[in-house]
Structure 1
Amino acid sequence: MTTLLTIIIFVISYCLLMIEKWNRAVVALTGGVLLLICNVYEWEEAFGFIDWDTIALLFSMMVLVSITKKTGIFTYVAIRLAQLVKGRPVPLLIVTGCFTAIGSALLDNVTTVLLFVPVLLSLVKQLQLPAFPYLITTIFSSNIGGAATLIGDPPNIMIGQAVEHFSFLSFLNNMGPVVLIVFILVMTILLLLFKNKLYYNEELATKFMKEDANKHLKKDQLLFRSLSVLFLTIAGFMLHPFIHMDITTIAVSGALLLLFLTDKYLDVEQVFQEVEWVTLFFFMGLFMLVGGLQTVGLIDELARGMVWVSDGDLPFTAMLMLWSSGILSGIVDNIPFVAAMIPVVQELQGYGMMDVDPIWWSLALGACLGGNGTLIGASANVVVAGLAASYREPIPFIKFALYGIPILLLSLVVSTVYVFLRYLLPFL
Structure 2
Amino acid sequence: MSTVLALLIFIVSYVLIMTEKWNRALVAIAGGVLLLITKVFRWEEAFGFIDWQTIALLFSMMVLVSITKKTGVFTYVAIRLAQLVKGKPIPLLIVTAVFTAVGSAFLANVTTVLLFVPVLLSLTDRLKLPAFPYLLMTILCSNIGGTATLIGDPPNIMIGQAVEHFTFLSFLYHLGPVVMVIFIIVVFIVIAIFRKKLIYDKALASELMNLNAHEHLKVSKLLVQSLSVLFLTIIGFIMHPFVYMDITTIAVSGALLLLFLTDKELDVEHVFQEVEWVTLFFFMGLFMLVGGLETVGVIDELARGMVWISGGDMPITSMVMLWSSGLLSGVVDNIPFVAAMIPAVQELRGYGMMNVDPIWWSLALGACLGGNGTLIGASSNVVVAGLAASYNQPISFFRYALYGIPILILSLLISSVYIFFRYLIPFL
Q: Could you say which residue in structure 2 is the equivalent of 1:191?
A: 191
Counterpart CA distance in 1 for 2:23 and 2:339 is 19
Alpha-carbon separation, structure 2, partners of 1:273 and 1:207: 36
CA shift digits 1:197-233 (9 cap, x unpaired): 1110001101110000000000000000000000000
> Partners of 1:298 and 1:192 in 2: how far apart?
45
In structure 1, C-alpha distance between the alignment counterparts of 2:27 and 2:4, rounded to whole Å: 19
- Residues 1:412 and 2:412 are matched in the alignment: yes
User: 1:155: how far off?
Assistant: 0.5
Equivalences for 1:241-320 in 2 at 5 Å?
A: 241-320=241-320
1:413 offset after TM fit, Å?
0.4
Q: Bigger shift: 98-107 or 395-404?
A: 395-404
Match in the other structure for 2:385: 385
Instruction: Give the corresponding residue for 1:239.
Output: 239
Taking the TM superposition and a 5 Å limit, the aligned residue runs for 1:121-160 are 121-160=121-160
Amino acid at match of 2:349: Q
Task: Provide the rounded CA distance (Å) in 2 between the counterparts of 1:109 and 1:366.
Answer: 16
Letter in 1 for 2:196: N
Give the counterpart letter for 1:313 in structure 2.
D
- Tell me the CA shift for residue 264 of structure 1: 1.3
- Using the alignment, how far apart are the partners of 2:251 and 2:80 within structure 1? 29
State the alpha-carbon separation in 1 of the partners of residues 227 and 49 from structure 2. 35
What secondary structure sits across from 2:177 in the alignment? helix
Q: Which amino acid aligns with 1:371?
A: G
Q: Deviations over 1:347-374 (max 9, x none)?
A: 1111110000000000000000011111
Deviations 1:261-289 (A, max 9, x none): 11111000000000000111111111111
Q: Distance in 2 between matches of 1:200 and 1:232?
A: 40
C-alpha separation between the residues in 1 aligned to 2:25 and 2:174?
32
User: C-alpha separation between the residues in 2 aligned to 1:123 and 1:284?
Assistant: 36
Instruction: Give the residue type in structure 2 aligned to 1:81.
Output: L
* C-alpha distance in 1 between matches for 2:383 and 2:315: 35
SS at match of 1:41: coil
TM-score calculated relative to the size of structure 2: 0.99
Taking the aligned partners of 1:189 and 1:9, their CA distance within structure 2 comes to 40
Instruction: In structure 1, give the amino acid aligned to 2:93.
Output: L
Q: Name the structure 2 match of 1:165.
A: 165
Per the TM alignment, residue 104 of structure 1 is displaced from its structure 2 partner at its CA by 0.2
2:59 is the counterpart of 1:47: no
Which residue identity does 1:249 align to in structure 2? Answer: T
1:64 matched to which residue of 2? 64
Root mean square deviation of aligned Cα: 0.6
Deviation per residue, 1:407-427 (Å, 9 max, x gap): 001100000000001110111
List, as ranges, runs of 4+ consecutive aligned residues in structure 1 with deviation greater than 4 Å. none
Q: Distance in 2 between matches of 1:168 and 1:135?
A: 28
Residues of 1 paired with 2:33 and 2:188: CA distance?
47
**Whole-angstrom distance in 2 between the partners of 1:196 and 1:40:** 57
Aligned residue for 2:207?
Answer: 207
Residues 119-167 of structure 1 show CA distances to partners (whole Å, capped at 9, x for unaligned) of: 0000000000010110000000100000000000000001110111111
Distance 1:399 1:25 in 2: 26
Equivalent AA in structure 2 for residue 67 of structure 1: I
Aligned residue in 2 for 1:372: 372
Alignment partners' CA distance in 1, 2:262 and 2:149: 28
SS in 1 for 2:373: coil
Shift of 1:343: 0.7
Residue 396 of structure 1: how far off its partner (Å): 1.1
Structure 1 unpaired stretches of 5+ = none
Q: Any residues of structure 2 matched to 1:384-403 within 5 Å, and which?
A: 384-403=384-403
Q: Residues 4-34 of structure 1, C-alpha deviation per residue, up to 9 Å, x if partnerless?
A: 1111111111111111111111111111111
Matched, 1:423 2:416: no
- Map of 1:324 onto structure 2: 324
Q: What is the CA-CA distance between 1:39 and the residue it aligns to?
A: 1.0
Where do 5+ consecutive residues of structure 2 fail to align? none
- Report deviation, 1:109: 0.4
CA distance in structure 2 between the partners assigned to 1:322 and 1:421 by the alignment: 14
Report the CA distance between 1:195 and its aligned residue: 1.1
Percent identical across equivalent pairs? 76
Give the letter aligned to residue 250 of structure 1: I
Partners of 1:347 and 1:17 in 2: how far apart?
Answer: 27
C-alpha distance in 1 between matches for 2:186 and 2:69: 29
**Letter aligned with residue 400 of structure 2:** F
Q: Distance in 2 between matches of 1:405 and 1:49?
A: 33
TM-score by length of 1: 0.99
Question: Separation in 1 of the partners of 2:319 and 2:303?
Answer: 15
Report the residue type matching 1:40 in the other structure. V
Query: What residue in structure 2 maps to residue 347 of structure 1?
Result: 347
